Amino acid sequence: MVANSDNPDEKNQKKAVALKYNKEKNAAPHVAAKGRGLVAERILSIAKEHDIPIQEDKDLVEILESVEVEQEIPLEVYAVVAEIFAYIYKTNKTAAEQ
């Protein structure tokens, strides 16, 4: 997921938070990586290289950037993240069937 900062001094600086979820190992998704500027660009580059879906959601990124890496996402964003993961799973299943 990626979003641009609202701060005028950071207008062109991107923020990115990568989430990871393994339902057999984790109770909830967790933050796998996060960063701003060049780090955010690298996170996005790696996601694109590995065909990992990117969802733009500025509000969600603002919440998730306060979560430490390897920490589970906060309960209050479960519903939003669940919708994103459901979309990703559906897209992956459709692609596998083709």
Where along the chain do its domains lie?
A: 2-97
Instruction: Determine which of 1-5, 36-40, 54-58, 70-74 has the lowest per-residue pLDDT on average.
Output: 1-5
Given the candidates 3.40.1690.10, 3.30.420.40, 2.60.40.10, 3.40.190.10, the CATH classification of the domain at 2-97 is 3.40.1690.10
What percent of the chain is modeled with pLDDT above 70? 88
Tokens found for residue 87: 């979309």
Distance CA 10, CA 7 (A): 5
41-83 pLDDT, tens per residue?
A: 999 999 999 988 888 888 899 999 999 999 999 998 988 888 8
Q: Which two tokens stand for residue 32?
A: 């796998």
